[in-house]
Amino acid sequence: MEDVRVALLGCGTVGSQVARLLDEQAADLTARAGAWLHLEGIAVRDINAPRDQAVDRTLLTTDASSLIDGADIVIELMGGIEPARSYILEAFEHGASVVTGNKALLAAHGPELYEAAARADVDLYYEAAVAGAVPVVYGLRESLAGDRITAVLGIVNGTTNYILDEMTTKGLEFDDVLAEAQRLGYAEADPTADVDGLDAAAKCAILASLAFHSRVAMDEVHVEGIRSITSSDIAAATRAGYVIKLIASAKRRENGIEATVGPTLIPNSHPLAGVHGPFNAVVIEAEAADRLMFYGRGAGGAPTASAVLSDVVAAASHIVEGGHAPRELIYADLPVLSLEESVARYQVEVAVDDTVGVLTEVSGIFAQHGVSISAVAQDHEKIIKGEDGLPGQAVCHLTVTTHAASHEALEATIAQLEDSDAVAGINRVIRVEEA
């Protein structure tokens, strides 16, 4: 049986699990790959840093280039742009296939890496870069190769999913849950990448590119984080039969691709509504297959290592048996739509004076901008205290759910609502997905 030489770059949470599994499951992996997967070495920055006990310290080296030079498959789990990018290009130049979990690198330099892999006629795999163990890259690249995808909707960031879950079940505010999540190690000390949606945006760009055979860059994804979500938003969602999730959404529209990340109302009956805590899930809507969902752990050393190893087995079997991973397919080359052009259903909560004719006034403003209303709910009245401490004007809340409308039309509607004398304020504007 052939020997396939594997080089591992990086030995953190995921890397150490990859090393462990390569050793512990050697017999199984060999049977499936049709070759011995031989771990030649592990490139690290500091050989003396503390490591998982399962890691054979004699494999550690600081000389990544020599390791790459003698490898058939390079597993890149260092993260960050450089030197990861240079090492991957080096691997391709040496004729090695690459398995990476580096979403930031793919979002920033995907096309360059894809082209280099194709030129070298080797594989580039990256299942672990999106949604951890969830095989959604596989699903998009291969399982749906016979279908036309219309939408991809994903919960692809575990930290924000955990925070929104805690806010929902415990009625807490964002800041308190974030502080607790940081204390427990579920959120980073600098939580920006997660809570402001940047991590999800990188994954959204990768998903959109795969689904629509076009190049979508991370900075073309319209991003909104979850910092502005309040316990009152969540309570209102719960009352109306929804949960609020941070959704990475990529949709095919007539005139291009819409790629957004933002807090979204998901109906309780939608399969994404039941995705809790550290789990990730991606729903794919396709013309023939209708709705599919892939669900699993979005992070963690062992789950992510499982995704890495499935890619390693695929790359190894190509080395032994011929064939190769699907190449980057960008034949569709669709444009990415601006935020203004993007189309969604929205829910808008408007505080209004409780007077006759106010509903006509408000619904008229939506109509003027061509935003069609699917439902209006009126909250029980609230008496706002006047400045003198006595009961003042009665105010009620109208929750308006729209049909699909362009972001531009929505913004114009909101602006005019804010100017209207009948409107005391706009409490909330949030996207809504269909069941």
Please report whether residue 156 would count as binding a second copy according to CB under 8 A: no
Instruction: State the nearest-atom distance from the C-beta of 175 to a second copy, in Å.
Output: 28
Based on CB atoms, which residue is closest to a second copy, 262 or 278?
A: 278
Please report whether residue 213 would count as binding a second copy according to CB under 8 A: yes
Annotated catalytic residue within 170, 203, 251, 385: 203
Based on CB atoms, which residue is closest to a second copy, 201 or 309?
A: 309
Other Cβ atoms less than 10 A from the Cβ of 263: the count is 22
Site mask, a second copy, residues 390-419, x = CB under 8 A? ------------------------------
Q: How far apart are CA 435 and CA 242, in angstroms?
A: 10
Site mask, a second copy, residues 257-276, x = CB under 8 A? --------------x-xx--
Based on CB atoms, which residue is closest to a second copy, 10 or 132?
A: 132
Please report whether residue 208 would count as binding a second copy according to CB under 8 A: no
Instruction: State the nearest-atom distance from the C-beta of 433 to a second copy, in Å.
Output: 16
Tell whether residue 101 is among the known ligand binding residues: no
Q: Pick the piece of the chain touching a second copy (CB under 8 A) from 26-34, 102-110, 360-368, 404-412.
A: 26-34
| Contacts to a second copy from residues 291-330, by CB under 8 A | 291-297, 300, 302-303, 305-314, 317-318, 321-324, 326, 329
User: Token digits for 351?
Assistant: 């505080």
Among 365, 341, 345, 361, smallest CA distance to 353 is for 361
User: Token digits for 130?
Assistant: 């999106």
Q: Residue holding tokens 């930290």?
A: 159
409 forms bridges with which residues in the sheet? Answer: none
Please report whether residue 256 would count as binding a second copy according to CB under 8 A: no
Rounded to 10°, the helix 301-321/26-33 angle is 40
Among 227, 231, 224, smallest CA distance to 248 is for 224
Q: Is 95 left (phi over 0), alpha (psi -120 to 50) or beta?
A: left
Other Cβ atoms less than 10 A from the Cβ of 407: the count is 20
Cα dihedral value 48, 50, 54, 56, nearest 10: 0
Tell whether residue 170 is among the known ligand binding residues: no
The residue within the footprint of a second copy, chosen from 10, 101, 110, 139 (CB under 8 A), is 139
Are 273 and 266 a contacting pair, CB within 8 Å?
yes
Cis peptide before 83 (omega within 30 of 0): yes
385 is annotated as an active-site residue: no
Instruction: State the nearest-atom distance from the C-beta of 52 to a second copy, in Å.
Output: 14
394 forms bridges with which residues in the sheet? Answer: 383
Tell whether residue 9 is among the known ligand binding residues: yes
Are 206 and 107 a contacting pair, CB within 8 Å?
yes
Binding site for a second copy (CB under 8 A): 17, 21, 25, 28-29, 31-33, 127, 133-135, 138-139, 142-148, 213, 271, 273-274, 279, 281, 286-297, 300, 302-303, 305-314, 317-318, 321-324, 326, 329, 331
The catalytic site residues sit at 203
**Numbered residues of the known binding site for L-homoserine:** 188
**Numbered residues of the known binding site for NADP(+):** 9-16
